[in-house]
Copies of this chain bind each other. A is one copy, B any other.
Amino acid sequence: MSDQFKPLSTAPTAVMDAPVTRSRNRAPNSSPQGVETVALGASQSLSDSLYRGLRASIMSVDLLPGTPISENDIARSKGVSRTPVRAAILRLADEALVEVVPKSGTFVGRIPLSALPEASIARRTLEMMIVQSAARLATSAQIDLLKANIEEQFEMVARDDISGFHEQDSIFHKSIAEIGQLPKIWKFIETIKTQIDRFRRLTLPHAGRMAQVADEHARIFAAIAAGDEEKASQEMHRHLSGLQNYFANGVAAHPQYFIQDIDLSKIPNI
Protein backbone atom coordinates (compact mmCIF):
# COMPACT_ATOMS: atom_id res chain seq x y z
CA MET A 1 0.00 0.00 0.00
CA SER A 2 2.92 2.28 0.56
CA ASP A 3 4.53 1.92 -2.83
CA GLN A 4 1.47 2.64 -4.91
CA PHE A 5 2.63 6.16 -5.63
CA LYS A 6 6.14 5.30 -6.69
CA PRO A 7 7.02 7.10 -9.90
CA LEU A 8 5.94 5.12 -12.88
CA SER A 9 8.83 5.87 -15.17
CA THR A 10 10.56 2.62 -15.92
CA ALA A 11 13.96 4.25 -16.01
CA PRO A 12 15.73 4.41 -12.68
CA THR A 13 17.66 7.44 -11.63
CA ALA A 14 20.70 6.48 -13.65
CA VAL A 15 21.02 8.63 -16.74
CA MET A 16 22.85 6.25 -19.07
CA ASP A 17 19.93 3.90 -19.64
CA ALA A 18 18.06 4.18 -22.88
CA PRO A 19 15.44 6.71 -21.92
CA VAL A 20 12.24 4.97 -22.92
CA THR A 21 10.45 7.91 -21.38
CA ARG A 22 12.24 11.18 -20.92
CA SER A 23 12.88 11.44 -17.22
CA ARG A 24 12.26 14.99 -16.30
CA ASN A 25 14.49 16.64 -13.76
CA ARG A 26 13.85 19.47 -11.42
CA ALA A 27 13.01 22.58 -13.32
CA PRO A 28 15.74 25.20 -13.01
CA ASN A 29 12.80 27.50 -12.50
CA SER A 30 12.49 26.53 -8.91
CA SER A 31 14.99 27.59 -6.31
CA PRO A 32 18.19 26.11 -7.72
CA GLN A 33 19.30 24.14 -4.71
CA GLY A 34 20.60 27.46 -3.50
CA VAL A 35 20.00 29.90 -0.72
CA GLU A 36 16.70 31.62 -1.28
CA THR A 37 13.22 30.22 -1.11
CA VAL A 38 11.67 33.61 -1.63
CA ALA A 39 8.04 33.35 -2.47
CA LEU A 40 6.96 34.54 -5.89
CA GLY A 41 5.58 37.93 -5.08
CA ALA A 42 3.21 38.44 -7.97
CA SER A 43 0.04 36.39 -7.98
CA GLN A 44 0.55 34.95 -11.46
CA SER A 45 -2.36 32.61 -11.03
CA LEU A 46 -6.07 33.24 -11.38
CA SER A 47 -6.97 30.86 -8.58
CA ASP A 48 -4.44 32.53 -6.31
CA SER A 49 -5.96 35.96 -6.67
CA LEU A 50 -9.45 34.56 -6.29
CA TYR A 51 -8.32 32.82 -3.14
CA ARG A 52 -6.87 35.97 -1.68
CA GLY A 53 -9.92 38.03 -2.51
CA LEU A 54 -12.35 35.54 -1.05
CA ARG A 55 -10.21 35.04 2.02
CA ALA A 56 -10.04 38.77 2.67
CA SER A 57 -13.80 39.07 2.36
CA ILE A 58 -14.34 36.23 4.83
CA MET A 59 -11.74 37.40 7.34
CA SER A 60 -13.14 40.92 7.32
CA VAL A 61 -16.57 39.40 8.00
CA ASP A 62 -17.75 41.33 4.99
CA LEU A 63 -19.09 37.91 4.05
CA LEU A 64 -20.93 36.74 7.16
CA PRO A 65 -20.67 33.16 8.43
CA GLY A 66 -23.26 30.89 6.85
CA THR A 67 -23.67 33.02 3.73
CA PRO A 68 -24.17 30.75 0.72
CA ILE A 69 -21.61 31.19 -2.03
CA SER A 70 -21.86 29.68 -5.48
CA GLU A 71 -18.92 28.66 -7.60
CA ASN A 72 -20.96 29.47 -10.69
CA ASP A 73 -21.94 32.93 -9.52
CA ILE A 74 -18.40 33.88 -8.62
CA ALA A 75 -17.10 32.49 -11.90
CA ARG A 76 -19.67 34.44 -13.90
CA SER A 77 -19.12 37.64 -11.96
CA LYS A 78 -15.35 37.42 -12.43
CA GLY A 79 -15.59 36.30 -16.03
CA VAL A 80 -13.65 33.09 -15.48
CA SER A 81 -14.55 29.43 -15.42
CA ARG A 82 -15.45 27.37 -12.40
CA THR A 83 -12.05 25.66 -12.28
CA PRO A 84 -9.94 28.38 -10.63
CA VAL A 85 -12.87 29.40 -8.44
CA ARG A 86 -13.19 25.84 -7.28
CA ALA A 87 -9.47 25.60 -6.52
CA ALA A 88 -9.71 28.72 -4.38
CA ILE A 89 -12.73 27.39 -2.50
CA LEU A 90 -11.06 24.06 -1.81
CA ARG A 91 -8.12 25.88 -0.25
CA LEU A 92 -10.50 27.84 1.94
CA ALA A 93 -12.25 24.62 2.91
CA ASP A 94 -8.95 23.27 4.25
CA GLU A 95 -8.76 26.30 6.51
CA ALA A 96 -12.38 25.84 7.63
CA LEU A 97 -13.17 29.26 6.18
CA VAL A 98 -15.86 27.74 4.00
CA GLU A 99 -18.04 24.68 4.49
CA VAL A 100 -18.60 22.60 1.38
CA VAL A 101 -21.62 20.32 1.43
CA PRO A 102 -21.36 17.85 -1.46
CA LYS A 103 -24.02 18.17 -4.11
CA SER A 104 -25.75 20.81 -2.08
CA GLY A 105 -23.87 24.04 -1.57
CA THR A 106 -20.94 25.98 -0.20
CA PHE A 107 -21.20 28.41 2.67
CA VAL A 108 -18.96 30.85 4.43
CA GLY A 109 -17.66 28.87 7.37
CA ARG A 110 -19.36 29.31 10.70
CA ILE A 111 -16.94 29.75 13.56
CA PRO A 112 -16.39 26.50 15.46
CA LEU A 113 -16.57 27.58 19.09
CA SER A 114 -14.75 24.44 20.21
CA ALA A 115 -11.61 25.68 18.46
CA LEU A 116 -11.40 29.02 20.22
CA PRO A 117 -10.29 28.18 23.78
CA GLU A 118 -7.34 26.03 22.81
CA ALA A 119 -6.37 28.35 19.98
CA SER A 120 -6.26 31.17 22.47
CA ILE A 121 -4.18 29.14 24.92
CA ALA A 122 -1.73 28.04 22.24
CA ARG A 123 -1.34 31.56 20.95
CA ARG A 124 -0.75 32.95 24.42
CA THR A 125 1.76 30.25 25.28
CA LEU A 126 3.79 30.86 22.15
CA GLU A 127 3.72 34.64 22.41
CA MET A 128 4.78 34.51 26.07
CA MET A 129 7.80 32.51 24.99
CA ILE A 130 8.46 34.82 22.06
CA VAL A 131 8.34 37.98 24.12
CA GLN A 132 10.78 36.45 26.60
CA SER A 133 13.17 35.87 23.75
CA ALA A 134 12.59 39.41 22.52
CA ALA A 135 13.31 40.92 25.93
CA ARG A 136 16.54 38.93 26.00
CA LEU A 137 17.73 39.82 22.50
CA ALA A 138 16.39 43.30 21.75
CA THR A 139 18.92 45.84 20.53
CA SER A 140 18.52 49.54 21.24
CA ALA A 141 17.73 50.19 17.58
CA GLN A 142 14.95 47.62 17.68
CA ILE A 143 13.61 49.12 20.89
CA ASP A 144 13.46 52.53 19.22
CA LEU A 145 11.50 51.13 16.32
CA LEU A 146 9.10 49.40 18.64
CA LYS A 147 8.64 52.59 20.60
CA ALA A 148 7.73 54.38 17.39
CA ASN A 149 5.14 51.70 16.74
CA ILE A 150 3.64 52.20 20.22
CA GLU A 151 3.38 55.92 19.57
CA GLU A 152 1.64 55.21 16.28
CA GLN A 153 -0.86 53.11 18.16
CA PHE A 154 -1.77 55.93 20.55
CA GLU A 155 -2.03 58.22 17.55
CA MET A 156 -4.58 55.86 16.03
CA VAL A 157 -6.50 55.75 19.30
CA ALA A 158 -6.61 59.53 19.32
CA ARG A 159 -7.84 59.56 15.74
CA ASP A 160 -10.29 56.73 16.43
CA ASP A 161 -8.88 54.99 13.36
CA ILE A 162 -9.87 51.38 13.94
CA SER A 163 -8.40 49.77 10.85
CA GLY A 164 -5.22 51.77 11.23
CA PHE A 165 -4.97 50.58 14.82
CA HIS A 166 -5.43 46.97 13.80
CA GLU A 167 -2.59 47.35 11.35
CA GLN A 168 -0.24 48.75 13.97
CA ASP A 169 -1.37 46.07 16.40
CA SER A 170 -0.37 43.40 13.93
CA ILE A 171 2.97 45.07 13.28
CA PHE A 172 3.62 45.22 17.02
CA HIS A 173 3.26 41.49 17.55
CA LYS A 174 5.12 40.67 14.36
CA SER A 175 8.00 42.94 15.32
CA ILE A 176 8.34 41.26 18.69
CA ALA A 177 8.66 37.92 16.95
CA GLU A 178 11.35 39.33 14.68
CA ILE A 179 13.22 40.79 17.64
CA GLY A 180 12.99 37.42 19.36
CA GLN A 181 14.33 35.85 16.16
CA LEU A 182 11.27 33.65 15.84
CA PRO A 183 9.46 35.14 12.84
CA LYS A 184 8.17 31.83 11.52
CA ILE A 185 6.39 31.10 14.75
CA TRP A 186 4.49 34.34 14.26
CA LYS A 187 3.41 33.05 10.86
CA PHE A 188 2.14 29.97 12.56
CA ILE A 189 0.31 32.00 15.19
CA GLU A 190 -1.40 33.89 12.40
CA THR A 191 -2.98 30.65 11.23
CA ILE A 192 -3.87 29.61 14.77
CA LYS A 193 -5.70 32.82 15.51
CA THR A 194 -7.72 32.92 12.30
CA GLN A 195 -11.01 31.98 13.91
CA ILE A 196 -10.29 34.10 16.96
CA ASP A 197 -9.90 37.14 14.74
CA ARG A 198 -13.18 36.43 13.02
CA PHE A 199 -14.88 36.00 16.39
CA ARG A 200 -13.54 39.32 17.61
CA ARG A 201 -14.58 41.18 14.49
CA LEU A 202 -18.05 39.73 14.76
CA THR A 203 -18.70 40.23 18.44
CA LEU A 204 -16.35 42.66 20.13
CA PRO A 205 -17.01 46.36 20.47
CA HIS A 206 -13.85 47.74 18.98
CA ALA A 207 -14.22 51.34 20.03
CA GLY A 208 -13.79 51.09 23.77
CA ARG A 209 -11.09 48.46 23.71
CA MET A 210 -8.55 50.23 21.55
CA ALA A 211 -7.21 52.43 24.33
CA GLN A 212 -6.93 49.50 26.72
CA VAL A 213 -5.09 47.38 24.17
CA ALA A 214 -2.66 50.21 23.48
CA ASP A 215 -1.97 50.45 27.20
CA GLU A 216 -1.31 46.74 27.44
CA HIS A 217 1.04 46.98 24.48
CA ALA A 218 2.86 49.83 26.18
CA ARG A 219 3.40 47.74 29.30
CA ILE A 220 4.76 44.88 27.22
CA PHE A 221 7.06 47.29 25.43
CA ALA A 222 8.34 48.70 28.71
CA ALA A 223 9.27 45.25 29.93
CA ILE A 224 11.07 44.47 26.69
CA ALA A 225 12.94 47.77 26.82
CA ALA A 226 13.94 46.99 30.40
CA GLY A 227 15.13 43.54 29.38
CA ASP A 228 12.83 42.00 31.99
CA GLU A 229 11.88 38.63 30.49
CA GLU A 230 9.60 37.56 33.29
CA LYS A 231 7.68 40.82 33.35
CA ALA A 232 7.32 40.83 29.59
CA SER A 233 5.92 37.32 29.69
CA GLN A 234 3.44 38.21 32.43
CA GLU A 235 2.25 41.30 30.60
CA MET A 236 1.77 39.29 27.43
CA HIS A 237 -0.25 36.78 29.45
CA ARG A 238 -2.53 39.54 30.70
CA HIS A 239 -2.83 40.98 27.22
CA LEU A 240 -3.92 37.69 25.66
CA SER A 241 -6.24 36.46 28.40
CA GLY A 242 -9.89 37.03 29.03
CA LEU A 243 -11.39 36.15 25.68
CA GLN A 244 -13.89 33.81 27.30
CA ASN A 245 -15.61 36.76 28.93
CA TYR A 246 -17.08 37.64 25.55
CA PHE A 247 -18.21 34.18 24.56
CA ALA A 248 -21.68 34.04 26.05
CA ASN A 249 -22.82 37.48 24.92
CA GLY A 250 -21.27 37.21 21.48
CA VAL A 251 -22.88 33.88 20.74
CA ALA A 252 -26.25 34.90 22.15
CA ALA A 253 -26.37 37.91 19.84
CA HIS A 254 -25.78 35.93 16.63
CA PRO A 255 -26.10 32.18 17.24
CA GLN A 256 -26.31 31.43 13.52
CA TYR A 257 -22.72 32.50 13.01
CA PHE A 258 -21.28 29.72 15.15
CA ILE A 259 -20.98 25.97 15.34
CA GLN A 260 -21.89 25.45 18.95
CA ASP A 261 -19.95 22.28 19.46
CA ILE A 262 -19.02 22.89 23.07
CA ASP A 263 -20.87 23.69 26.26
CA LEU A 264 -20.27 27.39 26.74
CA SER A 265 -20.52 27.05 30.52
CA LYS A 266 -17.59 24.63 30.58
CA ILE A 267 -14.98 26.82 28.97
CA PRO A 268 -11.75 26.78 30.97
CA ASN A 269 -9.99 29.88 32.09
CA ILE A 270 -8.26 31.47 29.18
> A residues engaging B (CB < 8 A)?
2-9, 23-27, 29-31, 33-37, 44-45, 53-54, 56-57, 60, 62-63, 66-70, 73-74, 76-77, 87, 90-91, 94, 99, 101-102, 104-105, 107, 112, 114-115, 118-119, 121-122, 125-126, 129, 181-185, 188, 192, 255-256, 259-261, 268
User: Which B residue sits closest to A99, measured CB to CB?
Assistant: B30
Q: A37 to B2, Cβ gap below 8 A?
A: no
B182 in contact with A8 (CB, 8 Å): no
CB neighbours of A256 from chain B (8 A): 33
Q: Give the shortest distance, in Å, between A67 (CB) and chain B (any CB).
A: 6
Residues of B within 8 A of A68 (CB): 7, 23-26
Number of copies: 2
What residue of chain B has the Cβ atom nearest to residue A25's Cβ?
B68
CB-based contact A8/B77 at 8 Å: yes
A76 / chain B contacts, CB cutoff of 8 Å: 8
Which residues of chain B have C-beta atoms less than 8 A from A70's C-beta?
Answer: 7-8
Our pick among B36, B67, B74, B184 for the contact of A115 (Cβ within 8 Å) is B184
Report B-chain residues with C-beta under 8 Å of the C-beta of A114.
37, 184
Which residues of the other chain, B, contact A268 by a CB distance below 8 angstroms? 181
Out of B37, B62, B261, which one reaches A6, CB within 8 Å?
B62
User: Using Cβ atoms and an 8 Å threshold, which residues of chain B touch A77?
Assistant: 4, 8
**Separation of A260 and B37 alpha carbons in the complex (Å):** 9
Q: CB < 8 Å: which of B5, B27, B99, B183 contacts A74?
A: B5
